[in-house]
Amino acid sequence: MGLSHRGLFTSPHSLGAHTGALAGLTVDRGTGVGGRVLQDGRVIIVRDYAVSADISHDHDAAVRSEGLRTVIGAPVVVERTVRGVLYAGTRGEPTGGDRMADAVVREAHRLARDIEIDDEVNRRLAGRRSTHASAAAALDELTPLFEC
CB distance 9 to 29 below 8 Å: no
The pTM for the full model equals 0.76
Instruction: Tell me what pLDDT residue 13 has.
Output: 64
User: pLDDT, tens digit, for every residue of 3-22?
Assistant: 544 555 566 667 777 787 88
Cα-based torsion angle of the residue sequence 74, 78, 82, 88 in order, rounded to the nearest 10 degrees: -20
The full set of domains in the chain, from first to last, is 2-146 (3.30.450)
In single-letter form, the type of residue at position 15 comes to L
Q: Which residue has the higher pLDDT, 40 or 123?
A: 40
User: pLDDT, tens digit, for every residue of 84-140?
Assistant: 899 888 888 767 668 888 999 999 999 999 999 999 998 888 777 677 677 677 777
Task: Give the SS3 label for residue 40.
Answer: helix
Q: Sorting pLDDT into bands at 50, 70 and 90, what band is 38? A: very high
Instruction: Tell me what pLDDT residue 22 has.
Output: 82
Average pLDDT over residues 42-53: 92
